[in-house]
Amino acid sequence: MDASSWRFLLGKTKVDGVIGGPPCQGFSRIGKNDRSDPRRTLVGHFFRTVNLLLPTFFVMENVEGLLDSGNREALDLAINTLPESYTVLAPMVVDASKFGAPTRRKRVIVIGYQKSNMDPVLEKDIMSIQVPPTNVRQAIRDLPHPTEGKQGENEYGWAKYATGNVSTYARKMRRTPPKGLGTPLACDMLANNRVSGCFVTKHSESVVERFRRTRPGKTEPISRYPRLDWLGLCPTLRAGTGSDRGNFQAMRPLHPEQPRVITVREAARLQGFPDWFLFHKTKHHSFRMIGNSVSPIMAEKMLGIIKERFFSNTEPRTHQARATIE
């Protein structure tokens, strides 16, 4: 969008923050790292948008490969377009597991703010966050066994929670959302002890046997799917590709105990999504959404610090404008 379009949409409203994750495929270490990939230019467009809106702060997320030689130059060039009123922290590599998420997921975070409008945010404020780790058992043990998703009747894969002990992490995930968040359907189902995304994935007998032989913490040699360990962390969940890139499905880890891949809800729990979050009706799209996401647990911790510094130098406001680039 250009400046006139933003002015039309926002009028005189001041934008407090721009938060975005430009597409990472052009910088990913597991991809082709194609320098001609047009998606690489969207890092520059993120900062172009910051220049147009001049928010009090911005947060940008991307993969570690953005800092590799040949890629870092694109980031530095984009950052250098910002006015001197911004303080920009050096790019930080953060791991979601350090923030309490039950997954190893490293990402590059770039934070900037207008020093005249909010109190300082320092690199140590973010990098010193250390939350006790959450393991796979604590994350998904209370979730239901997979259920048959039926069009219309059970198209979201609803199932009742399992009985038994519920971890502190799971209790947090099972809470009803703050007012204004969550769909009425999801909230009603949670109130009735049911959760979505529990679709079954059917495997052939030979695949089931291969999965059964794979020990927790090891990788199944043919599918290359890792088997989760109850006491370990989940590896990075990847998104797969869209129809324009071959339509390859996302990598789905194997359940620690059952000879199957994890469900959408188990993946969401491992990434840090609360149970009231309703994903797409189709498993393929749901796994892509989760694999493309930033862990909400990590986001909550980092944005909590920014919020604190923002309001320490600003009068609290009832309504704030938000601009998000996905």
SS3 80: coil
Write out the DSSP string of 172-216: HHTSPPPTT-S-HHHHHHHHTTEES--B-----HHHHHHHHHSPT
For β-strands 321-325 and 106-114, DSSP reports them as unpaired
Of the chain, the end-to-end C-alpha distance in Å amounts to 14
- Burial of 187 (C-beta count, 10 Å sphere; 0-12/13-18/19+): middle
- Among left, alpha and beta (phi > 0; psi -120 to 50; other), residue 70 is left
- Catalytic residue annotation: 24
E strands, 125-254, where? 159-160, 194-195
Contact 255, 266 (CB under 8 A): yes
Size of the chain, expressed as the number of residues it contains: 326
Strand-pairing partners, residue 325, are 20
Alpha helices in 19-63 (DSSP H): 42-53
The token pair at 145 is: 């066994």
